[in-house]
Every structure is written in structure tokens, then in C-alpha cells.
Amino acid sequence: MQFTQLGLSPELLRAIGEQGYTTPTPIQAQAIPHVLAGRDLEALAQTGTGKTAAFVLPILQRLTQPATASDPATPLARLTHTAPRVLVLVPTRELAAQVQESVRTYGKHTGIRSLAVFGGVGINPQIQTLRRGIDILVATPGRLLDHLEQRTVDLSKIQTLVLDEADRMFDMGFINDIRKIIAKLPKQRQNLLFSATFAPEVRELAHGILKNPALVEVARRNAPAELVAQSVIRVDQAQKKEVLLHLLEAHGWHQVLVFCRTKHGADALAKRLDQSGVRSAALHGNKSQNARTRALADFKSGKLAVLVATDIAARGIDIDSLPHVVNFELPHVPEDYIHRIGRTGRAGASGQAISLVSIDERIQLRDIERLLKRELESSILPGFEPQQKHASPRPPAGRPPVRHAPRPSAPAGGRNGAGRSSRAGAGGGKPVAHHSGQRHR
């Protein structure tokens, strides 16, 4: 299938062509016709599937090309409307900026005006742009509520609502904010909901909002991108920094996204890598918007070899064909593992995700494997053999499995999470033992 078969306007096809895209991704091919037809949509798609264009393109089309004479998207409406007609709600600032960038890219030849509003930056420039009038508003819930309270935004003309990364909005506790915002929208509107997973609470939200939605699903339920080669290296916590450095050096990786669980851990790891001559920066919520934008730009341009990110900060990072993701620590929430590895293997490129797993993370690993419905290949790196026994024998029959005391949640001192992603274990040392499917019990 070609983009030209989707019935998109010449202005949009031109912008798509300028991006070098000819073939729609599966989510685009499936979702665009429904959105163009004005239907509600429930889409299960991870980041990296091309989901942004799957809603941005048909929305642009509907705003610029009226389907019928009575369609509000008439040229006249375009000239006279100052209030936004499309609202895209996203969980993070980065994602807001990226979605708006996509609107700009694809809407380049349409004259559609857009704005991203999010916290961490001054509100006044946003107010000024809103006053001048925009068509598409991309927003994080908190800042949008600020605008609503100050009456600096008018949501009474919204025709289409998009909830992007709905599962993440739940994880971040935005559900009440979302409900407050939705209460301000016209009842008659099109609703599009995108989520990487359909956790029960996401389903409930979807049922409350969507009317007779088309269902589009491009990934297996709760399954990571098929293209990502995933593996585990078992190592002691205290050795993880050394192992990461070793892997970076041995492979000469130049663009690695490393995940830590805490901001403090991300900072400490980025600093340690930098001291060892690996150009690195940390990306997390305590950084100013400018610092985050700069770190991301430097990472994309190749100035930084490693970006150490927390789960929340990494949402919405959009990098074409990011080759390596390393879980320095496993996430507490197994779904976050899927989000993390979804940063690689995007839009058809293959990727690698490596998790450095210490003995005290066996519970998280078990939960992730349950979610994946398979066991991950695990190995030990020569020279970095864990001293703490990893694969303890299964408990004898009749005895209950050993239960481990829960870890203190998010220790303030911060542990770092970065894994290393490499398909073939370590360049500077092949995995000494290859225990495919061995569980860390």
C-alpha cells in the first residue's frame, strides 16, 4: 500500500514525500481511513510504530478539506476560528513538543496553526499564541488546566480529542486532570485513544469516552516490538557501571539510551560515564526544559554517546532507529520495560535491548517475563561474574518458593538503571555462560 492510496490531500502527500516516506506503517494504513471517516478510534500501538502520523495526517486533512458542505472544516471556518478545533493530550513535555513538530512537518503546506503547551516554560508566550488563534492544541494536562483556570484557552470548539499514550497518563496520575479537561469539551466530538497497553483502567477510560470506536491493533497485546533483540546479563549491582563501560568500549556504541530508575541514579551514572570519557547526559524531570531539549538534541546529533534517562523523561523521545537500549536497572512496573525497549526497533529498524540484572531484581525480571509470556536469554560476562549467587536451585517440592522482602521503593540515594543493548553479548567478551531461559529465582 502507498500513501497515495489513502485519499490524503496533495499538500499532505507532498509533506510526506519530503520526509522520504512512501509506504504507510501498519497503524497508519489501518487508522487513517477510520479517522478520515470521522469515527472514534481505539488504537493499541507503541511508540515507534508511526502512530503520531496515524492521527496527525487525517486530522490535518479533516481540518483543511471539508468532507461535506456542512462540515465545519470549511475554508471560511479556517479563517474565522481562533479557538482550537483539535486537542491532543499527551503525558510529557517531550511528547507534546514532538507531536507538535509532527503537526508542523506534515502540515507544512496546509497553513494549519498549532501550539504545544506544557509546564516548565513560561506561560505568557503560550497565552499570546493562543490569543492569535490556533487550530491544533497539543498539551500536557497540568498546564492545560492552568490555562483553563486563567481562562486563556477556549475548548468550546474542539471537534477532535486525541489521548496519546493513555496508559502512561494513568501511570503518571493524570486521570482526574483528564476528566476535568474532557468535561470542558463539546459533547459532540471525535475521540481517538492511543495506548501501548490496554490495562483495565485504560479500557475503562476508553469505554467512557469512545463511541462505537474502530479498534486498531498493531502490536500483540502487551508485547514489545518483535524486532527488538532482548537479552539479560546477570551481574552484581556494584559491578554494573563497570560492565556498562566495558560494553560501551568493547562495542564502540555511539548512541545508547540507558535507563535508570531514579533521577539521582541517572545523574550519578551520567557523571561517572563522563568521567570515564564517554560523552553522556542525564535526562529527567528535574532538569529544566532547556537542558532536556539540549541533551536530546546533542544525543540525536551524535555529540553525546549516552543518554541516561528515567522512565518518565524517556517518554516521547523520538529518534530514528535508535540502535541500543540498556536497562541499567529493571523498572518496578513491568509495562515500563515494554515502553523502554520500544525506544529501539522503531519503524522497521532492528534494535537491541540489554538488561543488566542483579540478584535483587529477580522479582522484576520474573514479572517482565510473565508479561512477555517468555523467558529472556540470560548470560554472564567473563570478568564480571556475579558474586551473589544468581540462579539458585528451585525450592524442593513441597516447600514454598523463597519470597524476597520488597525493595524499598525508589531509594533516595538512587540506584542507576542502565542496561546495555547488544545483540551478541559483549564484544570484549562473549557471554561465558548462555542460560537461555534460565530464571533468576
Q: Minimum Å distance from CB 312 to ligand AMP? A: 17
Rule CB under 6 A: is residue 47 a binding residue for ligand AMP? yes
Q: CB-based contacts of 74: which residues, under 8 Å, 6+ apart?
A: 66
- Residue 101 is a binding residue for ligand AMP (CB under 6 A): no
* Residue 227 touching ligand AMP (CB under 6 A): no
Tell me phi and psi for residue 304, to 5 degrees.
-110, 135
Tell me the window of 24-32, 78-86, 161-169, 329-337 that interacts with ligand AMP (CB under 6 A): 24-32
| 65, 57 Cβ separation under 8 angstroms | no
Query: Among residues 60 and 145, whose Cβ is nearest to ligand AMP?
Result: 60
Distance of alpha carbon 404 from alpha carbon 390, whole angstroms: 13
Comparison of 52 and 126: residue with beta carbon closer to ligand AMP: 52
Q: Which is nearer to ligand AMP, 168 or 261 (CB)?
A: 168
**Does the protein bind ligand AMP through residue 419 (CB under 6 A)?**
no
Residue 347 interacting with ligand AMP (CB under 6 A): yes
49 touches ligand AMP by CB under 6 A: yes
* Cell 517482565, residue located: 368
Among 168, 346, 415, 420, binds ligand AMP (CB under 6 A): 346
Residue with smaller CB distance to ligand AMP, 6 or 376 = 6
- Looking at 48-56, 176-184, 204-212, 388-396, which segment touches ligand AMP (CB under 6 A)? 48-56
Q: List all residues 6 or more positions away from 110 whose beta carbon is below 8 Å from its beta carbon.
A: 9, 11, 12, 60, 63, 64
Of the candidate spans 20-28, 257-265, 291-299, 411-419, the one that interacts with ligand AMP by CB under 6 A turns out to be: 20-28
The closest of 136, 19, 12, 124 to 85, measured between CA atoms, is 136
How many chain residues interact with ligand AMP (CB under 6 A)? 16
**Distance in Å, CB of 297 to ligand AMP, minimum:** 15
Question: Which of 320, 398, 406, 408 touches ligand AMP by CB under 6 A?
Answer: 320
Cell of 357: 540484572
Nearer Cβ to ligand AMP, position 167 or 318? 318
Amino acid 7 reads G
Q: Which is nearer to ligand AMP, 106 or 384 (CB)?
A: 106
- Partners of residue 161 on adjacent β-strands: 87, 191
* 21 makes contact with ligand AMP (CB under 6 A): yes
Identify which range of 46-54, 109-117, 152-160, 307-315 contacts ligand AMP by CB under 6 A.
Answer: 46-54
CB-nearer residue toward ligand AMP: 23 or 156 = 23
Residue 197 engages ligand AMP in binding (rule: CB under 6 A): no
Of these, 48, 58, 84, 91, which contacts ligand AMP (CB under 6 A)? 48
Where does this chain touch ligand AMP (CB under 6 A) — which range of 47-55, 73-81, 181-189, 206-214? Answer: 47-55
Which is closer to ligand AMP, CB of 29 or CB of 185? 29
Minimum distance of ligand AMP from residue 29's CB (angstroms): 9
CB of 43 to ligand AMP, least distance (A): 11
Q: Is 173 left (phi over 0), alpha (psi -120 to 50) or beta?
A: left
Of the residues 6, 8, 15, 25, which one makes contact with ligand AMP according to CB under 6 A: 25
Binding site residues, ligand AMP, CB under 6 A: 21, 23-25, 28, 47-53, 318, 320, 346-347
